Amino acid sequence: MTETEALNNKRESSERRSKLLRSALGMSTITMGSRLLGLVREQVRAHFLGTSFSSDAFGIAFQIPNLLRRLVGEGAMSAAFIPIFTEQKELHGQEQAFRFARRFFNLSLLALSALSALGVLGAGIIVGAFSLIGGKPIAAEAQALTTSLTRWMFPYVALVSWAAIAQGILNTYRIFWVSALTSVLLNLSIIISALLLATQFSDPSYGFAIGVLLGGLLQLLFQLPFVFRLGFRWNPDLHIGPSVRRALILLIPTLFGAGVYQVNVLISQAIAWGLGAGAVSSLQYSQRLLELTLGVFAVAISTVALPSLASDAALGARDKVTDTLMYSIRLCCFVCFPVTAALLLFGRETASLLFERGAFGAVSSATTAYAIAFHILALTHIALSRVLVPVYYAYKDTKTPVYIAFVAMIANISLCYSLAPGFDLGGIALANSLSAMLQTLLLGICLRQHLGNIGDQVTGASLLKSLIATAAMAGAIIAGSELLAIEQLNGAQQLAVPYAAIAVAAAASYLITCLLLKHQELGELKRLVRRR
């Protein structure tokens, strides 16, 4: 390679990283609004339901269709729809790609309508089986409420899965903001419905359930005009052509893989349900804080990277795939390292500040903080897995993630049953974290079959600088906490000002240390801001 070629490759790589970061930041801005609304949604839930059996019932009833949505909706889009749609568009043109999309949508229309009907009719059987998994009896009142709420919310599966097909089309055209905004609509729908309707029912959880169903409908309807604007037109074409068959072949192992993950989550929730009222809710409030970080940045990175990965993999540009992957890993660690340390040191105060009001008291804050201490250990590993798995999908390898997910599931279930008796709900959170670490490790090792050895000095130096800056930030949090005696404070009124002061000092410590170390990822952000 000549010096000119090397310079051109370096310039092209830099421009590609800038585009990825620009898209991720743009999507993150919208997603930040959505996740903050999601946090408000959980605050509204905490106010009306606290960590009561009603809160557990809503959490479980929403979890069942929501996990199926991730299975048949997001899983299908990532593994089957987007790679085939991208390939059809790149190699055969837009008309052929839209023909595939129509046929895929029509097939899902029939299948998901049937699935939703079965879910509504069989809600009692589903919840009954779910309660048996935990191994401990569930109060009849709690089980009846969970069954009723599941029946109300099950059609959400179909609505949001159809919305995911629209999202797949838009993302392939690098239109990310529309789909990112749909989660804002979901959260707004739940919040408004809960505020208006919670007191109108015998149990306030029904107000939340109605909001979920309306939110699923809004997520679909909002995206359709933008899809039609691209040239997509619907017609009742039920022919299953070669491209749809290929998508189904890719989808089948992914359903097993995603199904393994969903079984993993469901069993964890079932075991928690058997630990007594409040365990499920505390774990879900804790999980919300993880999802805030993952949704704002890690999910944004994986979403905007997948179309590029799919295009580069289809063209055989392995170097470009590796470059995109390593850059995504560095960005995830740059964000996740400090958040992990902050929530480890500040978990109780964070739970109290955000949720302690109404039905959510000091005991609820303590149990949620206990879950946070174990859940947060998995933050970086979950983020990394979300950028590793799309690389497999880009190479149309849906089997390897299935095997890895199965191993992680066995580890998680075994650890849940063994750790829960001694650590209570903290044992379940710890089991989730340990299995996530194992899954990420195996994904990284097995990725060599597609990319070879993917480590590089740039990434190693970046991670080291992120760790050093995180240590400086942790020192600032510890010093500020001791100075302001924050461990003695409770609730938003007492915590708001000192918490904000410590958070600002911690963020400043992290950024200043990054500046002193000339952190590459911070430099990329600064250059992007200057261009704007």
Domains of the chain by residue range: 52-260
Ramachandran sector of residue 135 (left: φ over 0; alpha: ψ -120 to 50; beta: rest)? left
Tokens of 401: 């993630």
What are 79-95's pLDDT values in tens digits? 677 778 778 887 777 78
Task: Write the DSSP string, 254-320.
Answer: HHHHHHHHHHHHHHHHHHHHTT-TTHHHHHHHHHHHHHHHIIIIIHHHHHHHHHHHHHHHHTT-HHH
Provide the residue count of the chain.
Answer: 532
Residue 92 three-state SS:
helix
Distance, in Å, from the CA atom of 370 to the CA atom of 351, rounded to the nearest integer, reads 10
Residue position matching structure tokens 């079959």? 449
CB 102 within 8 A of CB 237: yes
Ramachandran sector of residue 360 (left: φ over 0; alpha: ψ -120 to 50; beta: rest)? beta
What are 401-449's pLDDT values in tens digits? 888 988 998 999 899 989 998 899 999 999 999 999 999 999 999 988 8
For residue 1, what pLDDT is reported?
55
Distance, in Å, from the CA atom of 66 to the CA atom of 52, rounded to the nearest integer, reads 21
Of 112, 85, 98, residue with least CA distance to 235: 98
Could you report how far apart the first and last alpha carbons of the chain are, in Å?
Answer: 34
For residue 257, what pLDDT is reported?
58
For residue 474, what pLDDT is reported?
97
Tokens of 278: 């409040």
Residues of the chain with confidence (pLDDT) below 70: 1-31, 68-79, 253-262, 293, 295-310, 314, 455, 524-532
For residue 531, what pLDDT is reported?
45
For residue 528, what pLDDT is reported?
46
For residue 287, what pLDDT is reported?
85
For residue 307, what pLDDT is reported?
65
CB 71 within 8 A of CB 259: yes
